[in-house]
């Protein structure tokens, strides 16, 4: 087997591990990760189904998590969770780009990193799971991937999580984006804690937080950084007159 084939197989294994689902029909997984530039048997039709699965599953999670919110509020929160940015972030966490099958031109132009391509592949994966198993299994996959995100969103900010709010706050102040890095990992594989540092660069502020996943720790440290930023560099609406 060629090295490229081995890398692709390893990437497929990692994607399935992170999804929490192992495909019985590998051809469905392959098609979900095939770009139209690579083959006529690509993932665009899968996206159509995957989009519906994603929207329903996230809507139901929000409905359960925020019983006091109105339909409009829930809709705005869902929009922030199922958009291209969030889907491409999830795809990056799953290393979907490493498993994509792309045409030569698309590969050379960096298609494996393109947010729209990654987001489309995620939707296609949800559809592929439903075809390989059933709707409930696909919904369970979405729930696993979105559980922490929904746990950390602030309903007062249309469902935006702490990392997103911190990024927007820094951009509004014309400051560089934060840098996150893992400074330590504690415990065994099944009970691991990640210690993550958030560095606000030119401000000189750094903070650390712990979580049972890298994302959870990043969200916690972003919350602390956001509070510090607003206190020391208040936005126009919060400045004292």
How far is Cα 31 from Cα 43, in angstroms, rounded to an integer?
6
Establish whether 51 is a catalytic residue: yes
Q: Annotated catalytic residue: which of 5, 9, 44, 51? A: 51
Give the per-residue SS3 of 59-97.
Answer: HHHHHHHCCCCCHHHHHHHHHHHCCHHHHHHHHHHHCHH
DSSP 3-state of 161: coil
Residue ranges of the binding site for Mg(2+): 47, 120, 123
Q: Annotated catalytic residue: which of 123, 161, 216, 218? A: 123
Residue ranges of the binding site: 47, 120, 123
Establish whether 106 is a catalytic residue: no
DSSP 3-state of 232: helix
Compute φ and ψ for 175, nearest 5 degrees: -110, 155
Give the helix/strand (H/E) hosting 196: strand 193-199
Nearest one of 13, 8, 50 to 32, comparing CA atoms: 50
How far is Cα 231 from Cα 220, in angstroms, rounded to an integer?
17
Report the catalytic residues. Answer: 51, 123
């Amino acid at each position: 087997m060629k090295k490229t084939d081995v890398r692709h197989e390893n990437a497929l294994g990692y994607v399935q591990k992170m999804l929490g689902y192992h495909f019985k029909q590998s051809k469905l997984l392959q098609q979900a990760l095939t770009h139209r530039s690579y083959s006529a048997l690509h993932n665009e039709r899968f996206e159509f189904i995957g989009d519906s699965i994603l929207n329903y599953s996230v809507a139901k999670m929000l409905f359960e998590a925020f019983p006091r919110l109105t339909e409009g509020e829930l809709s705005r929160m869902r929009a922030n969770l199922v958009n291209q940015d969030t889907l491409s972030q999830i795809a990056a966490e799953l290393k979907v780009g490493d498993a994509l099958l792309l045409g030569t031109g698309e590969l050379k132009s960096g298609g494996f990193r393109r947010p729209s391509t990654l987001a489309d592949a995620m939707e296609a994966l949800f559809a592929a799971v439903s075809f390989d198993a059933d709707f409930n299994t696909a919904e369970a996959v979405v729930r696993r991937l979105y559980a922490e995100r929904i746990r950390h969103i602030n309903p007062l900010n249309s469902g935006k999580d702490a990392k997103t709010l911190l990024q927007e706050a820094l951009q509004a102040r014309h400051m560089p984006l934060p840098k996150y890095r893992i400074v330590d990992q504690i415990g065994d594989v099944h009970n691991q804690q990640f210690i993550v540092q958030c560095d606000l660069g030119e401000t000189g502020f750094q903070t650390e937080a712990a979580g049972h996943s890298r994302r959870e720790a990043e969200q916690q440290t972003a919350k602390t950084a956001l509070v510090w930023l607003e206190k020391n560099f208040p936005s126009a609406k919060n400045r004292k007159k």
